[in-house]
Amino acid sequence: MPSSVKLSDQERRLYARLRELLREPGLLRGNLVETKRTCGKKSCKCQQPEAKHRALCLGFSLDGKHRTVYIPADWEEPVGEWVKRHSEVRDLLEQISLLFLSRLQNRKR
């Protein structure tokens, strides 16, 4: 990688944001999926179609197979932050990669 002196302002901003995100704990690849389900109790309100229980799950693929993990209510906020942080890191890496692809195509270091 070129020294930071040779980086453009845009590249420096992207790297700074990436370092900022990576200092925080927690990166999680996947998508949050909200589902509605019934619990199985005959007397529960969820037996009504409009009153089903809400459940948040993490959907992801691992070894070519789609997986789903239930997220307990008290974990929803941190898991949401981890997923959001991973997505932003992935987007920043893509932007940096495109800038360096442009450098390569223009034969500029």
pLDDT at position 13 is: 97
Neighbouring-strand partners of residue 67 = 60
Find the mean pLDDT for residues 28-56: 88
SS3 label, residue 27: coil
pLDDT at position 3 is: 59
Helices then strands (H, E): number in the chain? 2, 3
Is the Cβ–Cβ distance between 24 and 16 less than 8 Å? no
State the pTM of this model. 0.80
Instruction: Give the rounded distance of the alpha carbon of 106 from its chain centre.
Output: 32
Alpha helices of the chain — where are they, by DSSP H? 9-23, 76-106
Q: Taking the domains of the chain in order of start, what are their residue ranges?
A: 8-106
